[in-house]
């Protein structure tokens, strides 16, 4: 009887027992019956898998490099019977090993192929070829990984070579018998020897040219032939009554001789039985593949920290830690190999296919880190975000993900510095985080400026050509045929012209089609560059003689202020991004109607430039916990949050009990309000907790302390204990707590502690915060201690997340634009009322008329005060909020009123950060970066 281990190898389709038979015909019948039953059981198993997984399309790829079409046909027939889709890759006879490996590697990376088999000449079955096949796709079980598992006895973890399984099925009880393998080397021979020995057989292996071949053949009870028999080896060397099984296609010519000698040959049965077992392996592989697609429990190995005192610089701390390879991190958190695209050693893009794979996985808890009205130095929201996830995962063993914005190059080389956190709570490597990362901002710059070029080029061509000339150039004759592109057909439909033949348009239809009639004075789309360059705030374009005098004033914005960046942050899929890009309004025509990127025919090209940028970038914290860095919209004129896609993917990966912690730009009055009213509307996600970051320094400023200036030393009020300033300044903290409560979400105050803060000041802030309605208030020391310094904050967040959540939006989208602005001004900022300039009112009327009145509001105002006046600290009241202008980001999906004057191109200070930044030409290490 077969051993339990062998039966497990053959599960699930092998019948429990087959009737014994003797002689050639009986063995063939036995093999055919086994193949039939295996195929029938495999068919049932696969049908059951398809019922449970309706989207399942199991596909087996077979690489063939010979001209035997019979085997191809047999494979196809068996696959169709089972319900598998087969792709045959037929390579020319004589193909090299490198050509075979190239095809294998290509199919390895094809997510639509779950199994890969090889039908090659014997000379091509080398270790290089066999081990090129991914073990998880190796349905023939010939890779070293599968064979190693078989030898170790890990039957459940490996796929047994089908030929070896077929041979074992055809043999009767072989315990104590001598089995000779002739010309059966390589992977199949090794598998056979292992399986035979487990059944109690004495196994010998021999080459056809071996001098002892005749002797060994004469003493063998069973001979398994693995390759073509040479002509100089007579059949008479095999003693009568020996069971002979051939795995070679060319051995059939010996059949008559074996029959005459009463040998029980079964070579005919091996081929079809092996193919049936290959299909059985494919079904088993599909079961594994389905299991691999399900949510995987994290197996995260956190990195150890040894904080130093005094705390070194950020970059010294970053370099002192050795990050995990990003593919290791990805595997630890349950990402599949084909779901990541690696950029170097420490960062990788994550493919959006993961959302489909884990669509049924419950989301984790969603935490937003916001802040009080900050000083120009910032109060450490990013540092709190990183410290919190380090505490949750590395110290409390709770899955957590940080989702951060990608910083602009402008602040990095300007004055603010980076956004990777700081001290012992940061993303590493911090220089990679703060510089090019994976090139997303460059992709946005390229897409934005392509659209800007398209606008001016279209104005020039329309002003210098007739309708007919424009039409002939826009719809040219190519190879004697004229046709509309897909985007041109879409424009015709929007114009109400339901024609597809370019030759059938009337002159009037032709004119409507070719003329956008852009009014240059209404162009809102600007060029961008990711550098603080104040002299680009106002420019003149079109001065060259070639532009025929079409001169106009324009400007550059910082790249992260591009609407394309806001779209990247709010999009939910590639299709959604394409639609949003097409909806972007770049100007009005001379009739006051909006002109879009879709009208300019550039949508598809923009999507191509953005196809990689849409994927979140995976990095890690100092303690080896995962981070998504994705999107970085300007926090003044846009919503200032990282991407919806990063949050959605992270919420699936952490599991139902895990946490995703993301950050809002600036104070809660700007970043948090936009997060809830804009980002949560786009994503459909419901926040669990708000962490409100405060510092004693900022509270003293709001209590009447002197101005805080970036780059200048702090005054003594900020370095010495002053409880009265702290108490007076807590009004701003109280107001920000009240703003959070407007949305019905529990709030935990995180007091980011500096070494100059006294214990009495810290206790006072926490006491006032809790009295003002905070669920809890916790002092945090993560900057100096890493995750360990934020454990109490993590525990408070975990408790708050279990509280009743009554999240609600601040306003209905159906309200008029002006009323939505007024609600934000009065309820969030504390204004008495709003006042629109004539220009702002005119724009409101225009957007309402154009059908954009039901979009959310994205207020563009200073972050240094609750009011529109940066110098007014604390909680200003009784002021009228002036709205100087109202603009729209239709693709991103919001209206943005301008409160006072807002610059979208920062300038460099007298002494920018770049004075200290350098590159060591020997080590290539960046120096002077924070």
Beta-carbon contacts of 395 under 8 Å, excluding residues fewer than 6 positions away, are 787, 788, 791, 794
Catalytic choice (416, 458, 580, 615): 416
Would residue 5 show up in a list of annotated catalytic residues for this protein?
no
User: Can you tell me the distance from the alpha carbon of 743 to that of 808, in angstroms, rounded to the nearest whole number?
Assistant: 5
Burial of 923 (0-12, 13-18, 19+ CB in 10 A): exposed
Catalytic choice (190, 635, 794, 796): 635
Greatest extent of the chain over all pairs of C-alpha atoms, in Å? 112
Catalytic choice (351, 381, 583, 674): 381
SS3 at position 729: helix
Catalytic choice (2, 351, 405, 700): 405
Catalytic choice (163, 383, 412, 621): 383
Would residue 615 show up in a list of annotated catalytic residues for this protein?
no
User: Can you tell me the distance from the alpha carbon of 67 to that of 94, in angstroms, rounded to the nearest whole number?
Assistant: 10
Catalytic choice (208, 550, 754, 807): 754
Report how far apart, in Å, the C-alpha atoms of 393 and of each of 336, 402, 654, 752 are: 21, 11, 10, 20
SS3 at position 742: helix
Residue 878 CA to chain centroid, in angstroms?
47
User: Can you tell me the distance from the alpha carbon of 679 to that of 660, in angstroms, rounded to the nearest whole number?
Assistant: 15
Would residue 666 show up in a list of annotated catalytic residues for this protein?
yes
Would residue 164 show up in a list of annotated catalytic residues for this protein?
no
Strand ranges for 538-584 from DSSP E: 539-541, 552-554, 556-558
Name the phi and psi angles at 664, rounded to 5. Answer: -105, 150
Strand ranges for 423-480 from DSSP E: 425-428, 477-478
Would residue 635 show up in a list of annotated catalytic residues for this protein?
yes
How many residues does this entry show for the chain? 930
Would residue 515 show up in a list of annotated catalytic residues for this protein?
no
Looking only at the bridges linking them, the beta strands covering 585-588 and 594-596 are antiparallel
Would residue 894 show up in a list of annotated catalytic residues for this protein?
no
Phi-psi region of 474 (alpha: psi -120 to 50; beta: other; left: phi over 0): alpha
- Contact between residue 162 and residue 278 where contact means Cβ atoms under 8 Å apart: yes
Burial of 544 (0-12, 13-18, 19+ CB in 10 A): exposed
Phi-psi region of 786 (alpha: psi -120 to 50; beta: other; left: phi over 0): left
DSSP assignment letter at 304: P
SS3 at position 411: helix
Cα-Cα-Cα-Cα torsion 333, 335, 337, 341, nearest 10 degrees, comes to: -100
Catalytic choice (513, 666, 675, 775): 666
Would residue 264 show up in a list of annotated catalytic residues for this protein?
no
Residue 79 parent element (H or E): helix 69-82
- Contact between residue 335 and residue 354 where contact means Cβ atoms under 8 Å apart: yes
- Contact between residue 879 and residue 868 where contact means Cβ atoms under 8 Å apart: yes
Report how far apart, in Å, the C-alpha atoms of 321 and of each of 68, 204, 419, 427, 428 are: 57, 55, 18, 11, 8
User: Can you tell me the distance from the alpha carbon of 386 to that of 365, in angstroms, rounded to the nearest whole number?
Assistant: 16
User: Can you tell me the distance from the alpha carbon of 823 to that of 876, in angstroms, rounded to the nearest whole number?
Assistant: 17
Catalytic choice (743, 783, 852, 879): 783
What are the catalytic residues?
381, 383, 405, 416, 635, 666, 754, 783
């Amino acid at each position: 009887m077969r051993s339990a281990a062998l039966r497990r190898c053959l599960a699930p389709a092998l019948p429990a027992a087959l009737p014994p038979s003797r002689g050639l015909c009986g063995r063939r019948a036995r093999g055919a019956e086994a193949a039939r039953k295996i195929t029938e059981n495999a068919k049932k198993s696969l049908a059951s898998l398809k019922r449970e997984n309706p989207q399942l399309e199991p596909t087996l790829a077979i690489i063939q490099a010979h001209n035997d079409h019979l085997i191809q046909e047999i494979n196809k027939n068996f696959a169709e019977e089972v319900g598998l889709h087969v792709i045959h890759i037929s390579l020319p006879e004589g193909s090299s090993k490198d050509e075979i490996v190239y095809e294998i590697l290509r199919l390895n990376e094809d997510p639509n192929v779950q199994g890969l088999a090889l039908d090659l000449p014997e000379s091509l079955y080398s270790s290089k070829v066999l081990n090129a096949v991914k073990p998880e796709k190796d349905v023939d079980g010939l890779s070293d990984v599968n064979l190693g598992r078989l030898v170790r006895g890990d039957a459940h973890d490996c796929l047994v070579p089908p030929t070896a399984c077929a041979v074992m099925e055809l043999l009767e009880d072989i315990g104590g018998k001598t089995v000779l393998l002739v010309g059966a080397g390589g992977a199949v021979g090794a598998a056979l020897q292992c399986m035979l020995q487990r059944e109690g057989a004495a196994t010998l292996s021999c080459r056809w040219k071996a001098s002892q071949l005749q002797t060994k053949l004469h003493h063998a009870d069973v001979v398994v032939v693995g390759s073509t028999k040479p002509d100089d080896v007579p059949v008479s060397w095999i003693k009568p009554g020996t069971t002979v099984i051939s795995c070679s296609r060319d051995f059939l010519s010996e059949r008559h001789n074996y029959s005459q000698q009463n040998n029980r040959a079964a070579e005919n049965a091996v081929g079809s039985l092996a193919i049936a077992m290959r299909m059985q392996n494919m079904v088993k592989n599909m079961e594994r593949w389905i299991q691999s697609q399900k949510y995987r429990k994290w197996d995260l190995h956190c990195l150890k920290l040894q904080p130093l005192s005094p705390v070194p610089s950020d970059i010294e701390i970053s370099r002192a830690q050795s990050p995990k390879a990003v593919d290791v991190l990805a595997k630890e958190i349950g990402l599949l190999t084909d779901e990541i695209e690696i950029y170097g050693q420490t960062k990788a893009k994550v493919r959006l296919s993961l959302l489909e794979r884990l669509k049924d996985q419950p989301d984790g808890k969603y935490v937003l880190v916001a802040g009080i009205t900050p000083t120009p130095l910032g109060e450490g929201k990013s540092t709190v975000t990183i410290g919190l996830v380090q505490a949750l995962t590395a110290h409390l063993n709770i899955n957590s993900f940080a989702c951060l914005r990608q910083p602009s190059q402008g602040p990095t080389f300007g004055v603010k510095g980076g956004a990777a956190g700081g001290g012992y709570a940061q993303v590493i490597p911090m220089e990679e985080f703060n510089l090019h990362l994976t090139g997303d901002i460059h992709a946005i710059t390229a897409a934005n400026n392509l659209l800007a070029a398209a606008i001016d080029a279209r104005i020039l061509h329309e002003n210098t050509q007739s309708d007919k000339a424009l039409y002939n150039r826009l719809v040219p004759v190519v190879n004697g045929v004229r046709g509309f592109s897909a985007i041109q057909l879409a424009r015709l439909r929007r114009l109400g012209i339901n024609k597809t033949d370019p030759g059938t348009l009337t002159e009037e239809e032709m004119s409507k089609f070719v003329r956008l009639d852009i009014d240059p004075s209404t162009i809102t789309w600007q060029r961008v560059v990711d550098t603080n360059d104040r002299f680009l705030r106002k420019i003149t374009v079109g001065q060259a003689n070639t532009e025929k005098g079409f001169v106009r004033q324009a400007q550059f914005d910082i790249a992260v202020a591009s609407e394309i960046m806001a779209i990247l942050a709010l999009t939910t899929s590639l299709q959604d991004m394409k639609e949003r890009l097409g909806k972007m309004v770049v100007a009005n025509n001379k009739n006051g109607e909006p002109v879009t990127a879709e009208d300019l025919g550039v949508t598809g090209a923009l999507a191509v430039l953005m196809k990689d940028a849409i994927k979140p970038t995976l990095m890690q914290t100092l303690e080896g916990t995962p981070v998504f860095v994705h999107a970085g919209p300007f926090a003044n004129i846009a919503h200032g949050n990282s991407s919806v896609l990063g949050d959605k993917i992270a919420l699936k990966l952490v599991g139902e009990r895990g946490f995703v912690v993301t950050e809002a730009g600036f104070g809660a009055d700007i970043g948090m309000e936009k997060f809830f009213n804009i980002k949560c509307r786009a994503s459909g996600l419901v926040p669990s907790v708000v962490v409100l970051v405060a510092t004693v320094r900022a509270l003293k400023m709001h209590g009447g302390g002197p101005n805080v200036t970036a780059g200048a030393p702090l005054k003594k009020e900020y370095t010495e204990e002053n409880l009265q300033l702290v108490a007076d300044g807590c009004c701003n903290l109280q107001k920000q707590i009240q703003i959070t409560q407007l949305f019905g979400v529990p709030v935990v105050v995180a007091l980011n502690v500096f070494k100059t803060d006294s214990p009495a000041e810290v206790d006072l802030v926490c006491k006032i915060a809790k009295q003002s309605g905070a669920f809890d208030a916790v002092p945090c020391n993560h900057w100096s201690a890493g995750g360990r310094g934020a454990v109490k904050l993590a525990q408070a967040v975990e408790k708050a997340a279990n509280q009743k959540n009554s999240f609600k939006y601040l306003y209905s989208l159906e309200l008029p634009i002006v009323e939505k602005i007024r609600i934000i001004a009065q309820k969030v900022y504390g204004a008495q009322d709003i006042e629109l300039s004539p220009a702002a009112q005119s724009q409101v009327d225009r957007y309402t008329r154009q059908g954009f009145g039901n979009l959310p509001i994205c207020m563009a105002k200073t972050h240094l005060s609750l009011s529109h006046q940066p110098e007014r600290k604390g909680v200003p009241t009784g002021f009228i909020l002036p709205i100087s202008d109202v603009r729209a980001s239709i693709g991103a999906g919001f209206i943005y009123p301008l409160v006072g004057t807002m610059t979208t191109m920062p300038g460099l200070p007298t002494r920018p950060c770049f004075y200290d930044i350098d590159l060591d030409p020997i080590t290539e290490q960046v120096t002077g970066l924070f």
